[in-house]
Amino acid sequence: MASKHMDQVFSHLSTDFPHAIFFRVEAEEQPVIFEVYSVSVVPYFIFFKDGKTVDTISTVRESSKDFGQQIVVVVDVDEVLGNFVSVLNRFIVDRYSLKHSVSEYHVYDFFKIWNCSRDEADIRVHEFFKTSYFKTRIHSILGTQQALCKLSRFCNLSIVTSRQIAIKDHTIEWIEKHYPGLFQLATILLYMESLDQS
């Protein structure tokens, strides 16, 4: 059943994304590959770009009318759906005259990038949340909505985010504005609230 389902998924994906190359590997036939990539459940997706692994998705299945079982794809908000870092960096440049490249933001410990205390970095981020930079300048990443619309035909889409509960309402509004009806928003609420309590 899962094998037939994956054939249908790959068929849709290869049609919708003709410039991508899809390979299917059977776990029983290639155990070394599954060891190298630490695969613990199937199906398991590994995404490569320029010969390097850029992402992996371990799947969960739910009931589906269309395919018997349906994959759940979980998507992050920042830098996957929207350009958070470039807008935050623009705010920091304009407000604090700090010159940083977006490529320096490889960690979310902004105090390390801005060379300030953790408390000062938190103050700057919360200041950013109150500005028009955060409220109006974060845009959806080009092509993401179209790709997710195609995926939503045979996958359930959910959100995972480490955004703070203080910006929960704005985050939900932004997702609904840029990606209307694509995500299970209850998942966002639960995750954000559990982060806030930890």
Over residues 5-57, the pLDDT tens digits come to: 566 666 766 776 677 777 777 766 777 877 777 776 677 777 777 777 777 76
- Domain interval for residue 26: 2-80+139-197
Whether 72 and 147 share a structural domain: yes
| Residue 7 shares a structural domain with residue 62 | yes
Provide the number of structural domains found in the chain: 2
Tell me, yes or no, whether 63 and 148 share the same domain. yes
Residues 112 and 54 in one domain: no
Backbone φ and ψ for 155, nearest 5 degrees, come out as -135, 150
Backbone dihedral region of 2: left (phi > 0), alpha (psi from -120 to 50 degrees) or beta? alpha
d(CA 58, CA 46): 9
Asked if 73 and 171 sit in the same domain, the reply is: yes
Confidence of residue 126 (pLDDT cuts 50, 70, 90): very high
pLDDT band, very low/low/confident/very high, at 113 (cuts 50, 70, 90): very high
Q: How far, in Å, CA of 108 to CA of 196, rounded?
A: 16
Mean pLDDT of the chain: 79
Query: What tokens does 185 get?
Result: 């928003």
Residues 96 and 171 in one domain: no
Domain co-membership, 158 together with 126? no
Of residues 9 and 194, more confidently modeled: 9
Q: How far apart are CA 36 and CA 25, in angstroms?
A: 13
Proportion of the chain above pLDDT 90, given as a percent? 38
Could you tell me if 129 and 98 lie in one domain?
yes
Cα–Cα dist 46/53, whole Å: 7
pLDDT tier for residue 165 given thresholds of 50, 70 and 90: confident
**Could you tell me which residue, 123 or 45, shows the higher pLDDT?**
123
Same domain, 154 and 176: yes
Do 110 and 146 have their domain in common? no
Per-residue pLDDT tens over the stretch 63-91? 344 444 567 788 889 999 999 999 999 99
Q: 119, 136, 153: which is the final residue of a domain? A: 136
pLDDT of 9 reads 66
3-state DSSP assignment of residue 197:
helix
pLDDT over 90 at 125, yes or no: yes
Q: Are residues 102 and 73 in the same domain?
A: no
Which DSSP helix (H) or strand (E) runs through 72?
A: strand 68-76
Same domain, 101 and 172: no
